[in-house]
Amino acid sequence: MKLAAFSVLVPDYDPAIAFFCGGLGFTLTEDIPQGAKRWVTVAPPGENIRLVLARADGPVQRAALASPAGGRVWLFLQTSDFARDSARITEAGGIFEEAPRQESYGTVAVWRDPFGNRWDLIQPAG
């Protein structure tokens, strides 16, 4: 077995595609109409894992947009160039919640995407 995909809750498909693909440079791997919904997946450059962009449907899911994962960081984006990619995230509409800090494992900072998901951007040490 391998982890192939996971879903990220978003308010609507097209703004999420614009952020991840137009802003961060991910690839749109699927956009399949399914009646009222769409099956939309994106992938980071050169990676096999996909994010399923799941449109919030109904009041419970829409309420979850305010605090995905209970407000915790739950997504981790690794980079080889922290300065370049933090600038790209900011230009695309991501918001850094802190200045970069040095940890034993590398340079890291918490940021939020436009949909409320909290991420770590990490450049590994060494």
pLDDT per residue as tens digits for the range 33-59: 999 999 999 999 999 999 999 999 999
Residue 84 corresponds to which tokens in the numbers above? Answer: 């370049």
Helices assigned H by DSSP within the chain: 13-17, 58-64, 82-92
Last residue of a domain, one of 49, 66, 83: 66
**Which domain, by its residues, includes 2?**
1-66
Q: Structurally, how many domains does the chain consist of?
A: 2
What CATH number is attached to the domain comprising 4?
3.10.180.10
CA distance 4 to 34: 21
Do 106 and 60 share a structural domain?
Answer: no
Last residue of a domain, one of 66, 83, 103: 66
Q: What is the mean pLDDT of the chain?
A: 96
At 74, is the secondary structure helix, strand, or coil?
A: coil
CA distance 93 to 68: 18
Given a contact cutoff of 8 angstroms between Cβ atoms, the answer to whether 106 and 123 are in contact is: yes
At 69, is the secondary structure helix, strand, or coil?
A: helix
What is the model's pTM?
0.94
pLDDT per residue as tens digits for the range 51-89: 999 999 999 999 999 888 999 999 999 999 999 999 999
**For strand 101-103 and strand 37-43, is the pairing parallel, antiparallel, or unpaired?**
unpaired
CA distance 111 to 86: 9
Do 62 and 6 share a structural domain?
Answer: yes
Residue in 79, 118, 88, 95 with CA at minimum distance from that of residue 24: 88
Do 62 and 96 share a structural domain?
Answer: no
